[in-house]
Amino acid sequence: MIRNVLSDIGGVGLYGVISICLFVTVFTGALVWTLLQRPSLMASLGHLPLADGERRRNPEGDSHHE
Amino acid sequence: MKTETFHYDNRIVRAFAIATVIWGLVGMAAGLLAAVQLFWPEANLQLQYVTFGRLRPLHTNAVIFAFVGNGMFMGVYYSLQRLLKARMYSDRLSWINFWGWNAIIVGAAITLPLGFTTSKEYAELEWPVDVAITLVWVVFTLNLIGTILKRRERHLYVAVWFYIATAVTVAVLHVVNSLEVPAGAFKSYPIYAGVQDALVQWWYGHNAVAFFLTTPFLGLMYYFLPKAAQRPVFSYRLSIIHFWALIFLYIWAGPHHLLYTALPDWAQSLGMVFSVMLVAPSWGGMLNGLLTLRGAWDKVRQDPVLKFMVAAVTAYGMATLEGPMLSIKSVNSLSHYTDWTIGHVHSGALGWNGFIIFSMLYWLFPRLWNTRLHSVRLANWHFWIGLLGIMFYAIPMYWAGVTQGLMWKQFTPDGFLQYPNFLETVTQIVPMYRLRAIGGSLYLLGTVIGAYNLWRTAKSGVFEPDVEARAVIQDAPRQAEHGHRWIESKPVLFTALTTVAILIGGAVEIVPMYLIRTNVPTIASVKPYTPLEVLGRDLYIREGCVGCHSQMVRPFRSETERYGDYSKSGEFVFDHPFLWGSKRTGPDLQRQGGKYPDAWHYNHMEDPRSTSPGSIMPPYPWLLTRKLDTNALPARIAALRKVGVPYPPGYELGEAQAALAAQARAVVANLALGSITNAPPDTEIIGLIAYLQRLGTDIKAAPSAAAPVAAAIATP
């Protein structure tokens, strides 16, 4: 019965194809772009959380300030 | 190089942190009370306000939006300022966010026990609260974008992308799923009906999990895990791929909540495929988190912050493997409607969200109050008790789910159901419900220990409201930027692209459903509910019956044998909202109409165990005495007409009340046949019985449901 409902919408299978194509495109794009980046830039971006510019005494003695 | 001094706002972080702890205790206690009621129904204290049907949404809303929500804001407000080297855009907006959000939670804590609910899971709050949520969320988003625009750090760290995705997607989901027409101060009907409502709801429901419980916390993981481990994330490249793959895939996966229902098959398959694909970015993220600790695992042994974090990330990995597995149609045919889902949800909620929040709290409290953690020993106790609690919760639920799922499907060699009495499959798993309550108690005990430890920590230190920080002023003209860095430098564009990514998935899923609206074969015999049934249905919604009873017979022999004909999408065209449910603690009710006499329902509501010995359903004696609110009828009929139910114009002005009275008299007469002679015709039970007796009966009046379609096709 469900298939009968959808037989009234032309080319419903297209939705699945479109979605997979879109995903593959976005995923490949992100992957290629990411791999092309300079390692030094990636490393510096990865360090952002460790440098928050806080200036204060740190009782725990770790490096949560610069 | 010139530097600039400024201050981070810690007050707002403290406020959210305290709210997180308090609401965590409240939400978990509500959950424990609900869990106890499943083996000891009298634990509702004979109060309608805390009976399971109303308590369950209170619990889910309290833990999701109050505990996890405040925890999310706490982490975002702390990390965002530091990642962008800027104070929040506006302190005023921050505080509107805090007080607004917590006022909404108080509103939920009042309205849900009173029975004001839309019945849509995780979106139960009625329309005035929905409006408030929208406004507060806009305030949060403005504050987020404003801070990004005035930042001193050129680059947007990946955590900030996750926050942006969260802000825009939650806004879209909430608005689309909450489109409803008011029928009173705290009553509304969704503009969608039946199949459409189900799809929109689970597009929302699934993505509430994705974009409220997952993406913000992945952002927080990418901030707090490197902070606690004192080393950068394992692979920043992987985090970028993780982000784009995850937000692009998640939005499509909603239909896996509706497998084998009357939802069109293509939508089910689409949801299944994308759900299975989701395992890749999820595990990419999990591994990225765990590998960050490479060479630092010794710290995990000593530091409770890392202990909680590692367990949280591992739980994330397990839940995101299990989720795709449960989305496979054949697995889902067994797991759906059982406690397996509850086990899955809680391994995610308790393990991932709970533990990552505790990790952040243990990290933040000593820093906010400039002191050391009161007791590492107590924090370790919290960790182990909490972990044990998760085990005691999840394992019995898996056991119960698989057991009950198999029992429902078991046939004798002669081809009859082995367990035709649904109750038999419930009493079998009640011991598991007891064990689950032990698990919940342990987890709550751990949280109490944690709260004490955090309170003592705060007491031993001095709170620093404004923390001084210094950053380089970037007044030199920026160099030309390319690629992703160019996008990052334009946060508004970045936000727009993120929105496009999530809208594509939503549109491909939902647009065809709008087309279907005109294509669902109207089954000629399916008619709108009568006025008495409308009020009865609203009582069904008010009492949260949908929390334990589905109205969706799947096309399996085990279900058609037990319940009757499987559900057709055309049967739900007047169902605003849909009430398919997602859990069968009691049996499906789609074909309940006419199955038992009216008097059976009367007795069953007064004392379920008088008709069903051993039942764990709570009694509903108040339905027998409370007056049916017939004054609400005109507004409700009018609102239902607005959302598309074809009541004739002016029907509510007189005719409807007369029809209601006539049907009520008929129910009373039926009750008299069953020796119930004292039932007043104006009580709520009369309306509920009328609704229950209508359920799934329309189609029986039309043996060939496909006939109208066939006729329509044959006629040029």
Structurally, how many domains does chain B consist of?
1
Q: Does B369 contact chain A (CB < 8 Å)?
A: no
Hey, is B632 helix, strand or coil? helix
Examine residue B18 and state whether it is found in any structural domain, yes or no: no
Using CB atoms, which residue from A15, A33, A45 is nearest to B508?
Answer: A15
Please list, in sequence order, all residues whose beta carbon lies within 8 angstroms of the beta carbon of residue A40, skipping any fewer than 6 positions away: none
Write out the residue range of the structural domain in which residue B651 sits. 531-714
Residue B56 CA to residue B547 CA, distance in Å, equals 8
Q: Does A18 contact chain B (CB < 8 Å)?
A: yes
pLDDT in the model for residue B515: 62
When the pLDDT of each residue in chain B is averaged and rounded to a whole number, the result is 90
Unique residue bearing structure tokens 């805090």: B98
Q: Which two tokens stand for residue B304?
A: 């409770």
Q: Does A32 contact chain B (CB < 8 Å)?
A: no
Sequence letter at residue B563:
Y
Substitution target from B299, B367, B481 for chain A, most A beta carbons within 10 A: B367
CATH code of the domain covering residue B570: 1.10.760.10
Tell me if B468 and A8 make a contact (CB, 8 A cut-off).
Answer: no
Tell me if A35 and B371 make a contact (CB, 8 A cut-off).
Answer: no
Contact B561, B716 (CB under 8 A): no
Calculated CA dihedral for residues B646, B649, B652, B654, nearest 10 degrees: -130
Examine residue B252 and state whether it is found in any structural domain, yes or no: no
pLDDT tens by residue, B692-712 = 999 999 888 755 444 443 333
Beta bridge partners of B469: A54, B6
| pLDDT tops 80 at residue A16 | no
Tell me if A60 and B367 make a contact (CB, 8 A cut-off).
Answer: yes
pLDDT tens by residue, B474-527 = 654 455 555 555 666 677 787 887 788 777 777 776 666 666 655 566 778 889
Sequence letter at residue A38:
R
Nearest to B430 by CA among B32, B34, B29, B36: B36
> Which B residues in the span 596-655 are in contact with A, Cβ-Cβ below 8 Å?
none
Contact B320, B282 (CB under 8 A): yes
Examine residue B126 and state whether it is found in any structural domain, yes or no: no
Task: Count the Cβ atoms, other than its own, within 10 Å of residue B464.
Answer: 18
Contact B194, B575 (CB under 8 A): yes
Count interface pairs A-B at CB distance under 8 A.
146
Contact B366, A60 (CB under 8 A): yes
Using CB atoms, which residue from A5, A19, A42 is nearest to B264?
Answer: A5
Q: Does B441 contact chain A (CB < 8 Å)?
A: no
Contact B33, B54 (CB under 8 A): no
Q: Are strands B180-182 and B188-190 parallel, antiparallel or unpaired?
A: antiparallel
Residue B98 CA to residue B79 CA, distance in Å, equals 16
Examine residue B465 and state whether it is found in any structural domain, yes or no: no
For chain B, percent of residues with pLDDT exceeding 90: 74
| pLDDT tops 90 at residue A2 | no
pLDDT in the model for residue B58: 96
For chain B, percent of residues with pLDDT exceeding 70: 94
pLDDT in the model for residue B711: 38
Examine residue B535 and state whether it is found in any structural domain, yes or no: yes
Tell me if A53 and B471 make a contact (CB, 8 A cut-off).
Answer: yes
In Å, how far is A11's CA from the nearest CA of chain B? 11
Residue B283 CA to residue B279 CA, distance in Å, equals 6
pLDDT in the model for residue B176: 87
Sequence letter at residue B33:
L
pLDDT tens by residue, B369-408 = 999 999 999 999 999 999 999 999 999 999 999 999 999 9
Contact B549, B587 (CB under 8 A): yes
Examine residue B107 and state whether it is found in any structural domain, yes or no: no
Examine residue B541 and state whether it is found in any structural domain, yes or no: yes
Hey, is B405 helix, strand or coil? helix
Hey, is B472 helix, strand or coil? strand
| pLDDT tops 90 at residue B255 | no
Examine residue B693 and state whether it is found in any structural domain, yes or no: yes
- Rounded (10°) angle between helices B127-149 and B491-517: 150
Measured on CA atoms in the order B264, B268, B269, B271, is the torsion positive or negative? positive
| pLDDT tops 90 at residue B153 | no
pLDDT band at B600 (very low <50, low <70, confident <90, very high): very high
Residues from chain B contacting residue A3 (CB–CB below 8 Å): 265
